[in-house]
Amino acid sequence: MKRALTFLLLFSLILGVFPAALAAEEPNPIPTLSKEERTPTPKGLHHYMLICVDSWAADLTRSGNHTDGLMLVTVDEYAQRVMLTSFIRDMLIQHEDGSFGRINNIMDLRSPKTKTGIDGKQGIQTLVETINRHFDLNIEKFIVVDFKQVENIIDAVGGVDINITNREATYLKRYSISSSSTTPAITEGRGGVYHFSGHAAVIYMRIRKIETAEYLHADGETYSDHQDYGRTYRDQMVLTAIADSLKDITYDDALRLLDTILANIVYTNMTVDDLMAALDLAMDVKGTPVETIRMPISNPSKQNGSGEWYEVSPTIENFNKGTYSYCEFPLSGMATKEVNFEMNRQALWDFLTDSFVVVDDE
C-alpha cells in the first residue's frame, strides 16, 4: 500500500496535477523607476526625508530596527508652499533584486553586516532610494530620529496644541500618561484642545486602534481614519502644530532650535551648510499653511446603512479602480498593502506641482 501511494504521488507530480499547490504565490511585479527614468526635481523644490525609528533609543548598529515613521517635507521656495507627504508602514515594495518586502523593514533587512553589528546607515540610504524608485522622486537629504528625540524636539519648541476626540481622550487617559504631560490634564471621554508635552505628543502620534477626527479626504468626502492611516494623520497634525507654533520665531531662536535638533538625531547625511540652507529656507516660508497628502491616497469611499463613510478596499481583480488593495501575500506573517504606484505617483506629482510658477533659469 505504501509503495502504491508513493507511486501515485510521483505520477501526480510528473503529470503536474499539483502545480498550483506547489507553486510559491507572490505579488505582481512592481513598476519601479531607475534614476534615469525619474522626473527631475523642479527648480525651487526642496525635499527632506524625515525617518523615525520605532524605538525610544535607536541603535543603527543593531538589528530589529523598523522605520514606521516616514514623512517627506517638501518646500517650494518660489510658490511659498510647505508640503508633508506620509508613507504608510505596511506598503509592499520590491527590492532591486526582485524580492518583495514591507517598506518599514528595509533598513533592518537591507543593512550590510559588519564585524561589530550592521551598517544601518547604508540601510537608510537603501530605504530612501527605494522610496525614490517607487514614487518617481529624487530625495537626497534625510534625517533619522527615534521616539525620545522627537519628544525632546517637541519639548524644545514648548510643546504643541492638539485637538483630540472624546475617544482619543479616553485612550490617552487609560494609557496612563502623566497628568502633568498635558494642559489641562486629560479627562476621560472629554475631547478638545490640549497642550501636549513631547512625551504625550509621541504617545498621541502612536495611536492606531482609535479612529481619528473626521476630516476632508482627497476623494472629496469627510470621514475618519484608523490603524496606519490614523497614525500618518496624527503625525501630520503634530508636525503642522509645530510649524504653527514657530510662525513668529526669530532667527536667533531658530539657531538655538537647530542646535537642539542636531543634538537629537540618530543620523543625517546633511552637512552643516545643508542644515543652514534648510534653516534659511524655513525662515523664508515660516507661517505658511502646511499642506498634506498620504501615500497611498485613499480609495473611493462609500456610505453604509448607518450613514457612516468607509473606505473601499478593492480586490486584486479590480485593482485599477483603487489606489491600493490589501495584499493576498503576507510577508513573514505580516499584512501588507499592494499599491497602485502609477496612480499614486500621478497624485503625488499633482500635489507637489499644484501651483505653477515661471522661473527664469538665468
**pLDDT one-digit tens code per residue, 24-67:** 467 788 999 999 999 999 999 999 999 999 999 999 999 989 99
Q: Note the pLDDT of residue 25.
A: 65
Rg (CA), the chain: 23
Under the banding of pLDDT at 50, 70 and 90, the label for residue 212 is confident
Phi and psi angles of residue 323, each rounded to the nearest 5 degrees, phi first = -95, -10
Q: What is the pLDDT of residue 351?
A: 92
Name residues whose C-beta falls within 8 Å of residue 118's C-beta, 6 or more positions apart in sequence: 60, 61, 62, 63, 111, 112
Helix (H) or strand (E) segment spanning residue 268: strand 267-268
**Helix then strand then coil, % of the chain, to nearest 5:** 35, 20, 40
Q: Work out the end-to-end distance of the chain between its first and last CA atoms, rounded to an integer number of angstroms.
A: 87
Domain edges within the chain: 35-147+207-301+308-352
Query: Residues 181-201: pLDDT tens digits?
Result: 999 999 999 999 999 999 999
Torsion, Cα of 244, 245, 250, 253 (10° steps): -130
- Helix ranges (H only) for the chain are 2-15, 19-22, 106-109, 120-135, 147-156, 166-174, 198-205, 227-245, 251-262, 272-285, 341-352
- Tens of pLDDT, residues 84-134: 999 999 999 999 999 999 999 999 999 999 998 999 999 999 999 999 999
Q: What is the residue-averaged pLDDT of the chain?
A: 84
Q: Which fold has domain 35-147+207-301+308-352?
A: Aminopeptidase (3.40.630)
Quick check: pTM over 0.75?
A: yes
Number of helical H runs and strand E runs in the chain: 11, 19
**Residue 49 one-letter amino acid:** M
